[in-house]
Amino acid sequence: MNAKPLLRKIPIAIWVLILVLILVRIFLPVGVKYGINWYLGQKLQNYEGHLDDFGLALYRGAYQFEGLRLWKKGKSAKDPLIEIKHTDLSLAWRALFKGKLLGDLKVDGVLLNLVDSQEKKKQQFGGGEDWKTVVGKLIPIELESFKLTHGEVLFVNKEFKVPVKIVMDEINAEATNIKNTDDRKELLPSTVQASARLQKSAKLHAEAKINLLSRLPAFESKFKLDKLDVTKLNDFFLAYGSFTVHSGKFSLYGEVSTKENMVKGYVKPFFENLDVMSPKEKFESPKRFFNEVAIAWANVFLRNSKDHTVATKIEFEGASKAPNINKWGAFWESLRNGFVEALKKQLDEKITIKDVPKKK
């Protein structure tokens, strides 16, 4: 069968429409990329940015960013506040079938570079910018799900004799049912799971149930950090606390719940086999000497004789901005751990959103 007669029967309007769609597909990404780069270069107050590439996937209703960078004005683009290798935003079809226009966002290869300094001009923490508006320009629809892979956060300060560098890498996080398209009747319908590694030493795990639909966001969460080698934080301790440690492991367990700007929760810090002063210790200042002696004395006095652990439980509740901290309770818990019974290195699994006090 000859296809030419069939092609001749197709109306000219259809051919024009096909041609228009092809031209849109070719030139729209170029125009969008130009518009985004113009906005990032001209409209931000304290920062500027650049996008390497923009792509469309019309068959699934999606677009992608490649190589998005934002840096403080006056600094080099090679030293960005944030750098994202790949971003994919697609329509959430399950939500669309329910009459809601929402998106699924996937972000891969994120680097957040925080810089501290005594001079405000050299600091880079992202302050002074309306990031909600910036994100709204890049992500123009509300989200139903979010997934982050291969994230990394750096905190650096190069102004000390020994530069400070705190690294959190292998960050992976996922939030689902953000707009409750599953129509769950529970108070906290959305879920968040996250994991990371601190100082290339210890794993951090966190999970939460969230309600982002309420006027004041509510959530209940729990987290744990297990066996961080505290010597990997010595540069930070020396710069900001005038002390160092010789050996030891740090773990942290906690639960926090909040609603209507009220909060309730606790954290349990554990220091295992902590050794503050080494035999060959050299003190560069009287402040460092007294700090390390005080910490060493507290470690010896409060350490549990069986597992050589210093630990306590710090409880807090009240207004989210300034909750009441049970300081005396924390002090007695540290004594109880040292002299009566070792604090259990686990989550209590007792704090829920129902335990949050009502606003007075």
Q: Which residues of 180-209 are buried (b: 16+ CB within 10 A; e: fewer)?
A: bbeeeeeebbbebebebbbbebbebebebb
pLDDT tens per residue across span 59-79: 788 899 999 999 998 888 888
**Domain span at 125:** 12-183
Q: Which of 183, 209, 238 is the last residue of a domain?
A: 183
When pLDDT is cut at 50, 70 and 90, the band that residue 186 belongs to is confident
Indicate whether 173 and 241 sit together in one domain.
Answer: no
- How high is the pLDDT of residue 340? 86
- How high is the pLDDT of residue 315? 95
Indicate whether 250 and 321 sit together in one domain.
Answer: yes
Residue 337 lies in a domain: yes
Indicate whether 118 and 239 sit together in one domain.
Answer: no
Mean pLDDT of the chain: 86
Residue 197 lies in a domain: no
Indicate whether 38 and 147 sit together in one domain.
Answer: yes
Indicate whether 169 and 244 sit together in one domain.
Answer: no
How many other β-carbons are positioned within 10 Å of the β-carbon of residue 347?
A: 15
How much is the pTM? 0.86
| Residues of the chain above pLDDT 70, percent | 89
- How high is the pLDDT of residue 123? 84
Residue 208 lies in a domain: no
Indicate whether 51 and 172 sit together in one domain.
Answer: yes
pLDDT tens per residue across span 204-227: 999 999 998 877 889 999 999 999
Nearest-angstrom CA–CA distance, 302 and 311? 8
- How high is the pLDDT of residue 281? 62
- CA–chain centroid gap for 168, Å, is 10
DSSP 235-292: HHHHHHHS---SEEEEEEEEEEEEETTEEEEEEEEEEEEEE---TT---SSHHHHHHH
pLDDT tens per residue across span 268-308: 999 999 888 665 666 667 776 666 777 777 777 778 878 88
State the residue for tokens 């309730």: 264
Q: Is the pLDDT of residue 49 over 80?
A: yes
103-115/143-157 β-pairing: parallel
Per the DSSP assignment, residues forming a β-bridge with 250 are 228, 271
- How high is the pLDDT of residue 71? 93
Residue 198 lies in a domain: no
Indicate whether 314 and 263 sit together in one domain.
Answer: yes
Residue 82 lies in a domain: yes
Q: Which of 129, 153, 183 is the last residue of a domain?
A: 183
Contacts of residue 222, defined as CB under 8 A and 6 or more positions apart, other chains included, come to: 206, 207, 208, 254, 255, 256, 347, 349, 351
Q: Is the pLDDT of residue 124 over 70?
A: yes
pLDDT tens per residue across span 1-34: 455 565 555 566 665 666 666 666 666 788 889 9
Confirm if 149 and 182 have CB atoms less than 8 A apart.
no
Q: Which of 114, 149, 183 is the last residue of a domain?
A: 183
Nearest-angstrom CA–CA distance, 196 and 200? 9
Indicate whether 162 and 255 sit together in one domain.
Answer: no
Domains identified in the chain, total number: 2
